[in-house]
Structure 1
């Protein structure tokens, strides 16, 4: 039995992977943008999740004037609601100034607002939400515990299918937590180059080092030269480690030996910084991630055999 919703990251992006910028307003992007919005409805999801930055873009970023104390009891809060759809605001410290517990958007069903908080959100902010009839779940003491949040969303609200629609940090947080099942990527045939613009997956948390792999399920050409790509999340690569090739080892012998022996104390010593007594000679190429883990693909880099 599933204990959490099925999670799909549904994103609209330019050809450079950016999810914001002037490219979105280019007339050439209109057919792909319309297809993206249509798909969001056709998914039939119970809820749509956005990060705090994206939500502020929808409802405003009015500063909150909260007291220093609050009387909200511990635990989650399920407010009375008639809506059957939900707007999930991933807002760990409690920043969004909701005026209403119902999120309304033209062409969409009204959605009940649920805040996903951590214990870092003040009791005064929780009082603020209760007064406005906004539900919330607590997941994590300081850092956000997304697996716990999703279990609560399933148990308390019956959410079985969830769309995550940005921003880039929120998308990456779901991927890094291992709770993202599918990526639905709509590519616009346009590009703009604003600096410091978020991408589809942005700023991986430090605790989630390594690469993530996807399996392509479907490709659809859209009107106006856009593309719809559907991927399943396959796995996250283990941490990559590198070894120096001992002198005289041919490359074809080094790869299996590096996997078999590994550092330290093996014939394949850990790679160290170049000393003054070393200089590069013949260069060969291989897939370093495969040498280290035997499990994932990555761009080729060069391994230099050094003579001491």
Structure 2
């Protein structure tokens, strides 16, 4: 059974997700809004958080370094460690690199497509990173979530993408609730990605949001919560 998935995001009033671009407000600063968001993240006590490749690359900041260990690699699942909390990255083609097995103390798990070469898997294993390789080149996200639950005991997961992975997960019917912290700011960029992105046709007709509540939060922010159906 897949984990319960909450998509947790911080957004400007116009739906953009990069606080570095936000306008200023007399009610708070970007740092204070980010601190409110981190407080929400911690309070949810999820077993794992999940992001896409681009977001994880900003955190890992490592470059390719081939493994020095010869021999076969393990497929489809390699468990480098078990932990109380996990950082999960979706990386279909195996472009992410790490120099250790955790991000901020959360053990890393990478979800990969079947075409990823053995050399990349060996590199991940040597760095202490766990991974799950899909049966096909395109990752079946539902199967990947089932694997996270079965092999790592993940029951509650925070989806904190990139708009691309958020959109893919919502379109696949894998997100149970959406929580968006709205900062008192605007972005205004014409070509800046929003909190959800899903191609030219978007998500019209594929999802319904049922309002559950709105809660004023510190520094002028508001938390909106929806059930996703």
Q: Tell me how far 1:25 sits from its aligned partner.
A: 7.4
Could you say if the C-alpha distance between residues 205 and 77 of structure 1 is closer, same or farther in structure 2, counting changes exceeding 3 Å?
farther
Which among 143, 150, 171 is matched to residue 148 of structure 1? 143
Could you say if the C-alpha distance between residues 206 and 16 of structure 1 is closer, same or farther in structure 2, counting changes exceeding 3 Å?
closer
CA distance in 1, matches of 2:228, 2:2: 16
CA distance in 2, matches of 1:144, 1:175: 15
Describe how 1:1-308 pairs up with structure 2 within 5 A: 3-20=1-18, 22-24=20-22, 26=24, 28-30=28-30, 31-60=32-61, 62=63, 64=64, 66=66, 71-81=72-82, 83-104=83-104, 110-204=105-199, 210-234=205-229
Q: Which 10-residue stretch deviates more, 221-230 or 24-33?
A: 24-33
Classify the secondary structure of the residue corresponding to 2:49: strand
CA distance in 2, matches of 1:146, 1:169: 13
CA distance in 1, matches of 2:189, 2:199: 21
Tell whether the 8 Å contact from 1:21 to 1:194 is kept in structure 2 after alignment.
Answer: no
Classify the secondary structure of the residue corresponding to 1:79: coil
Q: Tell me how far 1:59 sits from its aligned partner.
A: 1.7
User: How many residue pairs align between the two structures?
Assistant: 224
Higher RCO by CA contacts (8 Å cutoff, separation 6 or greater): 2
Could you say if the C-alpha distance between residues 128 and 207 of structure 1 is closer, same or farther in structure 2, counting changes exceeding 3 Å?
farther
Cα-Cα RMSD? 2.4
Tell whether the 8 Å contact from 1:173 to 1:204 is kept in structure 2 after alignment.
Answer: no
Classify the secondary structure of the residue corresponding to 1:48: strand
- Tell which structure's C-alpha radius of gyration is larger: 1
Q: Which runs of 5+ in 2 are unaligned?
A: none
Could you say if the C-alpha distance between residues 25 and 166 of structure 1 is closer, same or farther in structure 2, counting changes exceeding 3 Å?
farther
Q: Which runs of 4+ in 1 moved over 4 A?
A: 205-209
CA distance in 1, matches of 2:189, 2:202: 29
Tell whether the 8 Å contact from 1:186 to 1:226 is kept in structure 2 after alignment.
Answer: yes
CA distance in 2, matches of 1:137, 1:23: 35
Could you say if the C-alpha distance between residues 136 and 197 of structure 1 is closer, same or farther in structure 2, counting changes exceeding 3 Å?
same
Tell whether the 8 Å contact from 1:86 to 1:114 is kept in structure 2 after alignment.
Answer: yes
- Return the TM-score normalized by structure 2: 0.89
Q: Tell me how far 1:195 sits from its aligned partner.
A: 3.9
